[in-house]
Structure 1
């Protein structure tokens, strides 16, 4: 334990590629600064779409080989970001991607039928125990997870939020499961966020460029979906211009999920890579230590 760096960051994500989209710059920055960065991914993403035609046979309704393939994509992405400690919750494939449907409001939702081995159906205490092992081993000062809506409602994101928050609470209790290691209280917990101003600016540039299909239906001057966070709740902004190229390379490593002509790269093409250079967070536990502009620019601020 004493060999671990002084600063330790734990991130919990639902599927391979979620980590890069949400936190690629953050992870690359802290690796570069010598912090210990641990990623825990809860499923293999078996139910994801396959955007590479020659790999279409991997889909869950065909050979069902996508999950195993995405293990390799995740490893390649982490190599781009410099993250060497990346794990699956419990073990690879213990919890299966639940899949999703869209509800009438356009949010992701639980499918009408889910498999018994899906992450959504997994026992919350058992899944928390799998994460508590990691928390008590790594002893992170900072945890990054989703909010209670899982960002956009995906059942696996919601479940990952529940597991992360429950595990963080139980890991701090000395009398709970001594066999999982000495108790550890995580000082700061952040939830991933997408701030309103940044998204409106990006949408505005997309529309001005003539792109009306990327994030179709979103009006830069109208109501926005639930996953957008009002600026007043944004606690921390990680700005990482020098790491955004690593993030883009890591995104490309998730080739079955992110295409060069898809919405993520459309945002980049119309805004420059700076749209992916800022990653925003809401503080869910701990004490904020903002700078002169009223926001933190370091997840470890104040520790």
Structure 2
């Protein structure tokens, strides 16, 4: 690579707020470094549970069914909060255009049978739209979800499955090999974050039960991005999603509508899926490190995968 301006990072997320919850610090850090970052969101999050009364009638079930449109504004504010001062704010981008696919809600709910529900497909159309997005942007690095869809949400699973299907097709079309990561939570980081937050649980919140929040064993995590310097930006991004997220006064914890305390991590964690991670290299600290190694070794088109 000839410089930071040559780096392109594509992050794939299911609903507005996922980008900040899971990768907000990473987005802020790489934007600050001058990387060309693109966040593609697959749905508008129409089935989200609204916190508070002000916007409660926007919900889909028995309401105005206008929440998705409102959440575009929240995502716009969140991405702006993650963008460094003096740079044009990162803008929302939706797979296939805003509103093409709808938030499926949780498995077994009526919303899962909506004709535009993401998890109902047609899957080939989702994959084709994602291939077009990847080829047009031409990133070296792609961030997606694990095969559990983080916590089992059908849309998160679809994002993962579509990524698995789309990347090889995009590779064939573009001639580029992509470095692919899955965004995860490290177990020890979760334990430490919860221990730190246990003494400052806001009224009405609760600590999670054992195993209630998903995490991965430390030895499965391949890459750790230090985002401590961007904690305030991540907290601001979370606060921008006010229908979905409450940020504690400490700025170091947040909760969703279930009022379960969750840490705002100073490091964000990933599992490198392609190219295959070599354990002997030690845990990575830069998503672009495999790209840099490939260039130094004289490879063409990025990292092997």
TM-score by length of 1: 0.82
Q: Specify the SS of the correspondent of 2:113.
A: coil
Determine the C-alpha separation between the residues in 1 that align with 2:105 and 2:251: 21
Cα distance 1:125–1:226, how it changes in 2: closer, same or farther (>3 A)?
A: farther
Query: Which residue in 1 is equivalent to 2:21?
Result: 21
What is the aligned counterpart of 2:247 among 252, 257, 260? 260
Residue-by-residue CA offset, 1:74-129 (whole Å, 9 max, x unaligned): 011111112525310101011000111xxxxxxxx443652121001111211111
Cα distance 1:118–1:265, how it changes in 2: closer, same or farther (>3 A)?
A: farther
What is the aligned counterpart of 1:217 among 209, 214, 221? 209
Query: Which residue in 2 is equivalent to 1:122?
Result: 121
Listed as ranges, the gaps of 5+ residues in structure 2 are 84-88, 256-261, 292-305
Cα distance 1:198–1:17, how it changes in 2: closer, same or farther (>3 A)?
A: same
Determine the C-alpha separation between the residues in 2 that align with 1:277 and 1:206: 13
- Give the conservation status (yes or no) of the 8 Å contact 1:215–1:263: no
Residue-by-residue CA offset, 1:33-86 (whole Å, 9 max, x unaligned): 111101100000000011131111101121011000000000111111125253
Aligned residues: CA RMSD: 2.7
Query: Which residue in 2 is equivalent to 1:228?
Result: 215
Q: CA deviation at 1:208?
A: 5.2
Query: Which residue in 2 is equivalent to 1:180?
Result: none
- Give the conservation status (yes or no) of the 8 Å contact 1:188–1:287: no
Query: Which residue in 1 is equivalent to 2:59?
Result: 59
Determine the C-alpha separation between the residues in 2 that align with 1:85 and 1:289: 35
Cα distance 1:267–1:56, how it changes in 2: closer, same or farther (>3 A)?
A: closer
Query: Which residue in 2 is equivalent to 1:99?
Result: 105
Q: CA deviation at 1:165?
A: 1.8
- Give the conservation status (yes or no) of the 8 Å contact 2:30–2:37: yes
Residue-by-residue CA offset, 1:202-228 (whole Å, 9 max, x unaligned): 23334455789534322xxxxx35831
TM-score by length of 2: 0.82
Q: Would you say how many aligned residue pairs link Structure 1 and Structure 2?
A: 274
Listed as ranges, the gaps of 5+ residues in structure 1 are 101-108, 175-182, 219-223
Q: Specify the SS of the correspondent of 1:144.
A: strand
